Amino acid sequence: MSEENQRKLVLPGEEIISSLDYLPGKNCFREGNSIYSKKLGTSYTSNRVVSVIPLSGVYLPKEGDMVIGEISDIQSNGWVVNINSVHDAYLPLSGVRGFIDTRKTDLSRVYALGDMIYAKISNLIGGDSIHLSMQDSRARKFTSGRVVNISPAKVPRLIGKEGSMIKLVKDKTGSRISVGQNGVIWFEGGDEERSIELFKLIEEEAHTNGLTDKISGMFKEEKK
Query: What is the total count of residues that contact other proteins (CB under 8 A)?
Result: 26
In this structure, is the dihedral angle defined by the CA atoms of residues 108, 109, 112 and 117, taken in order, positive or negative?
negative
How far apart CA 133 and CA 144 sit, in angstroms, is 21
128 makes contact with other proteins (CB under 8 A): yes
Stretch that binds other proteins, among 64-72, 82-90, 187-195, 215-223 (CB under 8 A): 82-90
How far apart CA 51 and CA 36 sit, in angstroms, is 9
Q: Which of residues 178-207 bind other proteins (CB under 8 A)?
A: 207
18 makes contact with other proteins (CB under 8 A): no
Cβ nearer to other proteins, comparing 116 with 153: 153
Q: 64, 127, 156, 163: which one contacts other proteins (CB under 8 A)? A: 127
Helix pair angle (192-205, 164-173), 10° resolution:
150
Sequence-distant (6+) residues with CB within 8 A of 157 are: 165, 202, 206, 207, 211
Q: Which of residues 136-155 bind other proteins (CB under 8 A)?
A: 153
**β-pair partners for 54:** 41
Find the shortest distance in angstroms from Cβ 98 to other proteins: 32
Find the shortest distance in angstroms from Cβ 169 to other proteins: 22
Sequence-distant (6+) residues with CB within 8 A of 106 are: none
Find the shortest distance in angstroms from Cβ 46 to other proteins: 20
Cβ nearer to other proteins, comparing 54 with 78: 54
Sequence-distant (6+) residues with CB within 8 A of 9 are: 41, 42, 207
Find the shortest distance in angstroms from Cβ 158 to other proteins: 17
Find the shortest distance in angstroms from Cβ 57 to other proteins: 3
Q: 7, 17, 49, 55: which one contacts other proteins (CB under 8 A)? A: 55
Find the shortest distance in angstroms from Cβ 17 to other proteins: 15
In this structure, is the dihedral angle defined by the CA atoms of residues 193, 160, 82 and 137, taken in order, positive or negative?
negative
